[in-house]
Amino acid sequence: MIYVAATFRIRPGTIEAFVAAAYIAIDTARREPGCLLYDLHASVTDPDRLVCLEQWDSRETFDRHLAAPHIATFSEAIKPYVLSTRVEIIHPDHVDTI
C-alpha cells in the first residue's frame, strides 16, 4: 500500500475554478481499481494551497491512474490556476517525489 500527497500552490482567487476542474477527476479516481482513498483538502492557514491525499493498494495501480485519460484532462484544465505542484509517494520504507 502507498499514500500520495499532491500539493498544489494555486493563483490567488482561483480555488473555485480549481475545485470545479478537480471534481470530475476525484469522482473518477475513486472508482478506479486499487484506489482506497482520494480526497482534496484546502489549507486552513494558506488559501492558495490545496493538498490531494490518496491511498492506493500498490504503486502499479497508482501508475495506471497517472496514465489514465481523465488525469491528462485534469492536468490540462488546471494549468491556468497552478503555480507549482509537488507529488510525494509514500511507501512503507521510503518517499519518492515526482
Determine the average pLDDT of the residues in 49-58.
Answer: 98
Kindly state the cell numbers that stand for 20.
470545479
pLDDT score of 98 = 87
Dist CA 88 CA 86 (whole Å): 7
Per-residue pLDDT averaged across 7-34, rounded? Answer: 97
**What mean pLDDT, rounded, does the chain reach?**
96
Q: Is the pTM of this model over 0.85?
A: yes
CATH of the domain at 17: 3.30.70.100
Please determine, for residue 15, whether its predicted confidence score (pLDDT) is greater than 90: yes
pLDDT of residue 79: 98
- Is the per-residue pLDDT at 57 higher than 90? yes
Q: Are 14 and 81 in contact (CB under 8 A)?
A: yes
Number of domains in the chain: 1
CA trace torsion 16, 89, 70, 30 (10° rounding): -80
**Nearest-angstrom CA–CA distance, 88 and 63:** 13
Give the range of the structural domain holding residue 93, as residue numbers without chain letter: 2-97
